[in-house]
Structure 1
Amino acid sequence: MIVSESAMQVEETDAEPGDGTDAPDSPEVEDVATRQVVEFRLGEDYCAVDIDEVDSIVEIKKVTRIPRTPDSIDGVMDLRGETTAIINPRTFLGIEGDAPERHEQNILVLDRPDDKQKIGIRVDEVLEVATYPEDKIDTDEDLSDLDTRGIEQKVSRGIIRKPNGDGLDLVVWVDIDAIIDQLK
């Protein structure tokens, strides 16, 4: 927003603060609906989840594989004395390529009060917490022309159009509930 120098000057009056005479009528600022997300990287893809769904971000520790579980479940790990199931979202989103070494990855521990056990998702790198206006997010209705596994398997809430210096990056807005429902 650009404000002229004259607009920054305050005129002294004998009016009391809050009596309606201390400021000229100003146009109401329209609230723009926004979403705050945690952005992360999986391979070359950028993804995000709602910040309200994340309890904490931790470094990956020893993960114990559980026999006869789907490939999308890496196993379990001890997190502050609590057994935490670790999900690998790459299988749901069709992320190609090998994951980096485990010591380079992070776990987004989810905040899901109805779960009987803590759940975390394995990510290659946590990038940032960002806020986007909802008009920069294309939802399911807008995605019929995109051919991605996340859209096909209905584990994406939409695509965030993130401005960068050269144009736009597309960030997959992951639906954690849909991923967990497919594990049941």
Structure 2
Amino acid sequence: MESTAAGNIKLIVFQLQDEEYGAEVEKVRSIERMQHVTRVPGTPDFVEGVMNLRGVVTPIIDLRRRFNMADRETTDATRIIIVQVGEMEVGLIVDAANDVIDIERDSMEAAPESSGTADDTCIRGVIKLENRLLILLHLEKVLDEEALLMIENMEEHREL
């Protein structure tokens, strides 16, 4: 994680449903407005498809579907957060990208055994902020093995 000062980390805060989530700034490449996404047949339900982002074909994941939340109409606040997951760039559709914050590393607590919102393996921990609770995602685990294989195949064919 990126240190901003002794023991601090910087997070992008985004929203899904009524919950706030965080991802390390060092893994975020950009935050984009919702754009046209082309469906790819035979992919898991939560893989929205691919989009052409500045000449690069980028796989797009719908985090609501990934976490078994109800679908929601796209709004002006909907964003695609482009993250680096391992060697891959992947876009994550979120309801809104709210903020960039610094938190103290020791303010992160282990995730409860069952948060009830996201696949528990995808949660790195929770952070209590005054009257807010922030769920820190483990981006590498947001994708399951099937989706990783599909995305790796897309990566090999980026010259589309």
**TM-score between both structures, scaled by the size of structure 2:** 0.79
What amino acid does structure 2 have at the position aligned with 1:49? A
Instruction: Say whether residues 1:105 and 2:68 are aligned partners.
Output: no
* Structure 1 unpaired stretches of 5+: 1-30
**Amino acid across the alignment from 1:179:** V
Partner of 1:126 in structure 2? Answer: 97
Q: Is the 8 A contact 1:92 1:149 kept in 2?
A: no
Identical amino acids, percent of aligned pairs: 24
Structure 2 CA distance for aligned equivalents of residues 155 and 98 of structure 1: 19
Distance 1:102 1:69 in 2: 25
Please report the TM-score for the alignment, with normalisation by the length of structure 1.
Answer: 0.70
Matched, 1:136 2:104: no
Query: Could you list the per-position Cα deviations for residues 51-109 of structure 1 after superposition, in whole angstroms to 9, with x for gaps in the alignment?
Result: 111001111110011111111100001100110100112234343x3323255411111
Q: Which has the higher strand share?
A: 2
Distance 2:100 2:55 in 1: 27
Q: Which has the higher contact order (CA 8 A, sep 6+)?
A: 2
Alignment root-mean-square deviation, CA: 2.0
Counterpart amino acid of residue 155 in structure 1: C
The offset of 1:32, in angstroms, is: 4.7
Contact 2:85-2:139 within 8 A present in 1 as well: no
| CA deviation after TM superposition for structure 1 residue 181, in Å | 4.3
Counterpart among 79, 84, 91 of residue 65 in structure 2: 91
CA–CA distance in structure 1, aligned partners of residues 71 and 47 of structure 2: 16
Question: Unpaired runs of 5+ in structure 2?
Answer: 149-160
Q: Match of 1:91, SS? A: helix
Among 122, 130, 151, the residue aligned to 1:155 = 122
1:100 and 1:44 mapped to 2: Cα distance?
Answer: 15
Letter in 1 for 2:22: A
TM-fit CA distance, 1:151: 5.5
| Secondary structure of the structure 2 residue equivalent to 1:52 | helix
- TM-superposed CA distance for 1:149, in Å, is 4.6
1:177 to 113, 116, 140: 140
Contact 1:100 1:124 in 2 (8 A): no
Q: Secondary structure at the match of 1:150?
A: coil
Q: How many residues align?
A: 143
Cα distance in 2, alignment partners of residues 101 and 109 from structure 1: 17
- Per the alignment, residue 157 of structure 2 pairs with none
The partner residue of 2:29 within 46, 52, 55 is 55
